[in-house]
Amino acid sequence: MQYVNEAFEDNWVAPLGPNVDAFESELQDYVGGKHALAINTGTAALHMALRSLGVGAGDLVFCSSLTFAASCNPIIYQNATPVFIDSEPYSWNMSPQALYRALKTHAPKAVIVVHLYGVPADMDVIMEICDERGIPVIEDAAESLGSLYKGRHTGTIGRFGAYSFNGNKIITTSGGGMLLCPDIESRQHILKWITQSREPARHYEHTELGYNFRMSNVLAGIGRGQLEDIDLRIERKKHIYNTYKEAFSGISNVSLNNIPDYSDSNCWLSCLLIDEASDVKPVQIIEKLEQENIESRPIWKPMNMQPYYVNCEFFSHIDSELPDACPGL
Ligand SMILES: *Cc1c(COP(=O)(O)O)cnc(C)c1O
């Protein structure tokens, strides 16, 4: 409230302003990243990362298949073609094996790796595979702000990193996002695009297509306040995860989603895996939890199974035998 009030008192109820600058630098300090750009949604952050990489018509972009539609919709916004990469069964994140296999026959312009439900993907292996071929990686860290991969914050490892502050995320600005850019030049260029691509001229001059995607100074104030207690929120999420883990530990055929040893997850969402052999069906558990006023729902329906994306290519994990030449595996 204090930061929001300041915005009103200083008459900065506008995009740009002291809260936006401070939110960018405070988030940078928190994740240990650089060149942060506050933007109106996480989706727009991913979209602008693709545009900055020159993704356009005729290009392929790889993306995790098990994710929210906002991870891959920006590929379509740029008139490019998504290719979906399956999950590996442990972390449910992008399978390095399936990625490796897909790269044998395809040359994507970028790879979007999602850190699903806050659990970090195996970035070292994925980065090695992509770096070797000079393919830039965009981290969709919308759900994973505060999660660490081998001590590094998710979102700071790939060429670009995108965070979301939508209402359901670990911190929120009601709606908002942040893009970590690789250098000052790309950040400046994207800043221009998201503020209507106005050229530095008194009259309104445009040489490029623009968008109105900047975060407002009022919402950045909410973000600053939320960021101050992110550690408490993560602690609470971990407590919730551990509570469920313990509660279900005596029951065979169900287990919580795994958190790999290489990572420290923000535990954004606690997920229950139900064995196919179980007599209990997911809907029965959902109904039972509902009686206790606990909300639950199925995890994302994979993008390669969505009617909108069903014709896109998909590389499954199961068909990808361990490649001998795959580094890190
Ligand atoms: C929420 C989310 C997004 C989109 O972020 P918005 O700020 O809602 O646009 C993108 N990817 C994933 C995985 C998300 O969960």
Ligand 1 center to 204 CA (angstroms)? 33
Structural domains of the chain in order of their starting residue, each with its CATH number: 2-228+301-315 (3.40.640.10), 230-291 (no CATH)
Q: Check if 50 has its Cβ closer than 6 Å to any atom of ligand 1.
A: no
Query: Atom 6, ligand 1: which residue's CA is nearest?
Result: 42
Q: Whose CA is nearest to atom 8 of ligand 1?
A: 166
Q: Is the CB of 100 under 6 A from ligand 1?
A: no
d(CA 195, CA 44): 12
Nearest one of 49, 139, 56, 133 to 94, comparing CA atoms: 139
pLDDT tens figures, 248-304: 898 888 999 999 999 999 999 999 999 988 888 899 999 999 999 999 999 999 999
According to the model, what pLDDT value does residue 16 have?
A: 77
- Look at residue 182 and tell me whether its pLDDT is greater than 80: yes
Pairing of β 263-264 and β 36-39: unpaired
Q: Is the pTM of this model over 0.85?
A: yes
Percent of the chain whose predicted confidence (pLDDT) is above 70? 97
Tell whether ligand 1 has an atom less than 6 A from the beta carbon of residue 42: yes
pLDDT mean over 202-208: 94
Instruction: Give residue 216's identity as a one-letter amino acid code.
Output: S
3-state SS class at 158:
coil
Tell me the torsion sign for CA atoms 58, 61, 62, 68. negative
Question: To test the ligand 1 pocket, which listed residue (84, 164, 173) has its Cβ within 8 A of the most ligand atoms?
Answer: 164
Atom 2 in ligand 1: residue holding the nearest Cα: 142
Structure tokens at 132: 């070797």
Tell me, what's the pLDDT at 322?
59
pLDDT of residue 26: 98
| Dist. CA 271 → ligand 1 center (Å) | 18
CB atoms within 10 A of CB 316: 16
At residue 153 the predicted structure's pLDDT band, cuts being 50, 70 and 90, is: very high
142 lines ligand 1 (CB under 6 A): yes
Residue 70 beta carbon below 6 angstroms from any ligand 1 atom: yes
pLDDT at 321: 64
Q: Is the CB of 164 under 6 A from ligand 1?
A: yes
Q: CA-based angle 304:310:311, to the nearest 5?
A: 120
The reported pLDDT for the residue numbered 177 is 98
Four-residue CA torsion sign, 28, 260, 237, 232? negative
Task: Look at residue 279 in the predicted model and tell me its pLDDT.
Answer: 87
